[in-house]
Amino acid sequence: MTSTLIRGRLLSFHREPQSIDDNAAYAYESDGALLIEDGVIRAAGPYATVKTAAPQDVSEIDHRPHLIMPGFIDTHLHFPQMQVMASYAADLLEWLNTYTFPEECRFVETAHAERIAVRFFDEMVRHGTTTAAAYCSVHKTSADAFFAESLKRGMCMVAGKVMMDRNAPQGLLDTPEMSYDETRAVIADWHGKGRNHVAITPRFAITSTPEQMEVAKSLVREFPNLHVQTHLSENRDEISYTCELYPQAKDYTDVYARYGLLGPKSLFGHCIHLSEREADAMSETGSVAVFCPTSNLFLGSGLFPLRALTRREKPVRVSVASDIGGGTSYSMLKTLDEAYKILQLQGERLNPFDSFYLMTRGNAEALALVDRIGTLQPGSDADLVVLDMAATPAMALRAEVVNSLADELFLLQTMGDDRAVVETYVAGKPSKSA
């Protein structure tokens, strides 16, 4: 067994910070170390203590003066949309129909899916993201390519073959039967292989017939422990069209509720325009509203009401995500930078501890994976990101006057991107520089 000691400044959250002064919410070690064995964190704490407990022949990696945190987690993105990013469209539905659906049709080809999968994981690692909840395309080939690459790299990923059987080009449609059989096949082939988790993934109500939603319901019944992911209440035209397609439903959220899709492992992308009734339904079922700041701004979808959702009498669980390719950056730092601005526009604050909590432990809790990822707790998988607040000349200049951890985090979030990521460890293996 090989043991590695990784030295640097350590930051990991115990719980959500209540304010910028809530230093009981996190553990910070100014000269800390992690002892890594078999891809798992065995010990974490002051360097001197962890070193004493380590085997004599331990190999040491010194990241001082950089900051070591749990790897970033992205709770919503689309792996077949890497070549859709930066497409010029008026709004969501135009963007989907003009660019996104045609592009996703290409993932029927194994060679294309495999090529993009390699590039996708390269980008994740370059940006310090070690776990993502991803949509593949409708084609099983895309899920196979995604999970094979994830397995090869030993990454913890959640992903699903998209189910969609209407309102898209022929090359991007399955049928209710196909979506059932192929989702089951993806589960059989990939769920629990390595660190792979399969999610039941009906794209959204507009692209699924009631018959396909019944299939999604059956799959959730059959596999109650799997994640479910879909889109909800992103854009006004999308909401109206959904209500036309499902006239019996009380509202958009009720469409999913009727098919048993709400629950503590259900991730709903966007949730910008929910009514109070819908927010109650989300809260009562423990469903997660996924905030996708760069995408919401890029597509002009609206301002996610983070505080209104989390501070209500029946709070809604939230997470944060890039939503590549509606989103405009792979970086969770940039994502939280835009989240900050969206809150500013609503007269609210997002303090830097809150942001870094969300990117790590908060998102791990949203995925119900906090026992494995999102913290530096002994026993966790050693997925780590190493951050340099002086990564660029402009950042280095600003860093000269940083005099607190809060300042440092805020600088990283506001000015940082992949260049601030010195190294990314996947299950203890340095993967960015590899």
The single residue among 326, 362, 416, 428 that binds ligand GUN, judged by CB under 6 A, is 326
Alpha-helical regions (H) of 21-160: 47-53, 92-95, 101-105, 110-126, 140-153
Residue nearest to ligand GUN (CB): 326
From the list ligand GUN, Zn ion, none, pick the one residue 7 interacts with, judged by a Cβ distance below 5 to 8 Å according to partner type: none
Residue list 313-352, contact with Zn ion (CB under 5 A)? 323
Q: Do residues 391 and 420 lie in contact, with contact meaning Cβ atoms separated by under 8 Å? A: yes
Radius of gyration of the chain (CA): 21
Whether the link from the prior residue into 65 is cis, omega within 30° of 0, is yes
From the list Zn ion, ligand GUN, none, pick the one residue 145 interacts with, judged by a Cβ distance below 5 to 8 Å according to partner type: none
- Least distance CB 274 / ligand GUN (angstroms): 15
DSSP code string of 10-21: EEEESS--SSTT
- Least distance CB 270 / ligand GUN (angstroms): 7
Residue whose tokens read 């959730």: 220
Residue list 305-324, contact with ligand GUN (CB under 6 A)? 323
Cα→Cα distances 430→248, 382, 425, Å = 52, 10, 4
Q: Which helix (H) or strand (E) holds 5?
A: strand 3-13
By CB under 6 A, residue 174 contacts ligand GUN = no
DSSP code string of 311-339: SSSSPPEEEE---TTTSS-S-HHHHHHHH
The single residue among 7, 231, 317, 432 that binds ligand GUN, judged by CB under 6 A, is 231
Q: Give me the torsion for CA of 137, 225, 13, 347, rounded to 10°.
A: 60
Q: d(Cα 178, Cα 62) in Å, to the nearest integer?
A: 51
Cα→Cα distances 225→87, 133, 155, 369, 380, Å = 36, 15, 20, 12, 20
By CB under 6 A, residue 234 contacts ligand GUN = yes
From the list ligand GUN, Zn ion, none, pick the one residue 234 interacts with, judged by a Cβ distance below 5 to 8 Å according to partner type: ligand GUN
Number of residues that bind ligand GUN (CB under 6 A): 11
- Least distance CB 267 / Zn ion (angstroms): 10
Residue list 59-118, contact with ligand GUN (CB under 6 A)? 78, 92, 96, 100
The single residue among 72, 204, 268, 353 that binds ligand GUN, judged by CB under 6 A, is 204
Residue list 217-276, contact with Zn ion (CB under 5 A)? 269
Q: Considering the complex, state which of residue 78 and residue 140 has its C-beta at the smaller distance from ligand GUN.
A: 78
* Burial track 356-388 (b if 16+ CB lie within 10 A, e otherwise): bbbbbbbbbbbbbbbebbbbbbeebbbbbbbbb
> Which candidate, 4, 12, 94, places its Cα nearest to that of 55?
4
Amino acid residing at 288: V
From the list ligand GUN, Zn ion, none, pick the one residue 432 interacts with, judged by a Cβ distance below 5 to 8 Å according to partner type: none
Q: Considering the complex, state which of residue 262 and residue 376 has its C-beta at the smaller distance from Zn ion.
A: 262
Q: Considering the complex, state which of residue 293 and residue 416 has its C-beta at the smaller distance from ligand GUN.
A: 293
Q: Do residues 172 and 138 lie in contact, with contact meaning Cβ atoms separated by under 8 Å? A: yes
Q: Considering the complex, state which of residue 105 and residue 395 has its C-beta at the smaller distance from Zn ion.
A: 105
Q: Considering the complex, state which of residue 12 and residue 295 has its C-beta at the smaller distance from ligand GUN.
A: 295
- Least distance CB 290 / Zn ion (angstroms): 8
Q: Considering the complex, state which of residue 22 and residue 94 has its C-beta at the smaller distance from ligand GUN.
A: 94
Would you say the C-alpha torsion 418, 422, 428, 430 has a positive or negative sign? positive
Q: Considering the complex, state which of residue 4 and residue 212 has its C-beta at the smaller distance from ligand GUN.
A: 212
Residues at the contact surface with ligand GUN, assessed by CB under 6 A: 78, 92, 96, 100, 203-204, 231, 234, 295, 323, 326
Residues at the contact surface with Zn ion, assessed by CB under 5 A: 269, 323
